[in-house]
Structure 1
């Protein structure tokens, strides 16, 4: 299962100070559904960085013991209103669910997955380094001017600047 949502125009909005609260409500919903199976729930993506323009979609990273073990979490998440849209066993056993109120991308990874720490390092760096946050926003705004057949193409086009920022985030000292 891999859904490639057609996009067309990418819509970015200025940072909304309600995004952390919206994340918190979703986090509580996920925790109630999964209880101890939710090992970690993090607000990730651009809506998690104060001051950064973003698509108005709350990205959430959910860590479970084994994301390949869908029976451990699929039904509880569906009962909580999330719909499985992407299954990528070849990429960190990633699963992505969608939620509609507010719009949510719920990314599920296994404990110990390197992608989790990569995303958190990027988020935390942007929160603390305004020059890179501004660079990332300028890149996003420039790319959003184009037409994109799929949202993933827009995401892929940001890779070069993301990797450059991550390189700075991992430099010693």
Structure 2
């Protein structure tokens, strides 16, 4: 399967945090000593947000050169790897009863910091989170129903969110 896929958005679901916590325990075993920290990020990590029903997990490591045992453990857990895909992170996904995306990034690097800045900003600003939820719904309703088209459609909005977050936490 290619990286693009059909997507949808749903109202916030209380079980998303529990799904993250359960998967985090599995990922800690898979990564062993190679992991520094694992965080829930993306819209499923923000109370009340509309989101793709895919749990986004940020994994902080010292190097993107993963030990082969880590990669094998992820495959055994049902993850499919897509490599770096040009944005300074390794991307893995699992599509089973529940869906998970892994962003393996350098801990405390730009990807790590920026993703957590946006998450924390949305958590601290429910009105901004509501506006972002409306943007997501509008994108889907306007026909942006594949991962790549949906991501492209909201890219400027996310960039502006990051800029607001940097000013807020500056």
TM-score (structure 2 length as normaliser)? 0.89
Distance, in Å, in 2 between the alignment partners of 1:97 and 1:104 is: 8
Aligned length: 168
Provide the alpha-carbon RMSD of the alignment. Answer: 2.0
Question: What is the aligned partner in structure 2 of residue 103 from structure 1?
Answer: 99
User: Could you tell which deviates more after superposition, 64-73 or 158-167?
Assistant: 64-73
CA contact (8 A) 1:34 1:73 kept: yes
Question: What is the aligned partner in structure 1 of residue 53 from structure 2?
Answer: 56
- Which of these residues, 14, 18, 23, is aligned with residue 21 of structure 1? 18
Distance, in Å, in 2 between the alignment partners of 1:87 and 1:40 is: 20
Higher strand share: 1
Question: What is the aligned partner in structure 1 of residue 80 from structure 2?
Answer: 83
Structure 1: unaligned runs, 5 residues or longer: none
Residue 72 of structure 1 deviates from its aligned partner by 5.5
Residue 91 of structure 1 deviates from its aligned partner by 1.8
1:21-56 Cα offsets, whole Å, 9 max, x none, are 000000000012222212111101110000001111
1:133-163 Cα offsets, whole Å, 9 max, x none, are 1111111010011324741121121112112
Structure 2: unaligned runs, 5 residues or longer: none
- Which of these residues, 130, 134, 141, is aligned with residue 130 of structure 2? 134
1:45-101 Cα offsets, whole Å, 9 max, x none, are 1100000011111111112221133525211211233221x2126321x22112223
Distance, in Å, in 2 between the alignment partners of 1:113 and 1:89 is: 17
TM-score (structure 1 length as normaliser)? 0.87
- Which of these residues, 40, 45, 48, is aligned with residue 43 of structure 1? 40
